[in-house]
Amino acid sequence: MNETGENEAKPDRGDGAQPSRRVVLALGAAAASTVVTIRPALAQTAGSVLNCQIPVPAPQAGGSYIAADGSLVAPGTPGAFAPAPRPLTGEEVKALLNGGRTPAGLDSQSAQAYANYIRRLQAGMSGFTCYASLQMPR
């Protein structure tokens, strides 16, 4: 990927041989971490979290079908459901998890599979932050 500039972005050796006015920006090691998330014990965000979104499934698993128990299975698996046509909003997920209300445009069986998928979300997965926010006491 030459367009990253990796060929032209020679590390600054600190010898002053090639002074540059441009700021060096290291992308870091692939295994490094540049984002630390703080999850408040008490969210003061009533209302706003209802606007967050949960993709079903996460984009990394794009195309996977969702089995009735919420697990991800190969596309086309009999009895499993196609990915949600759009990300579900926090408000929809809250209603779905609490009372089983089916989000608009979805059928109830696939919605239940999506609900089970969302219950299985773990930290680091797309949508987890939104789901975790919904669980916080108001």
Partner 1 sequence: MAGPTYIADDLQHVRLVELDGLTALFHRPSGMTHILAPPAPQILAALSEPGDAGELAVRMAEAFEVEGGEEALTARLAELEAAGLIRRT
Closest CA to 92 of 100, 82, 103: 103
Closest CB 94 distance from partner 1, rounded Å: 14
15 lies in the binding site for partner 1 (CB under 8 A): no
Closest CB 71 distance from partner 1, rounded Å: 20
85 lies in the binding site for partner 1 (CB under 8 A): no
H/E run at residue 66: strand 65-66
43 lies in the binding site for partner 1 (CB under 8 A): yes
CB atoms within 10 A of CB 60: 9
* Measured distance CA(63)–CA(132) in Å, rounded: 24
Positions that interact with partner 1 (CB under 8 A): 1, 3-6, 8-12, 20, 22-40, 43-45, 48-49, 51-53, 55, 59-60, 124-127, 129-130, 133, 136
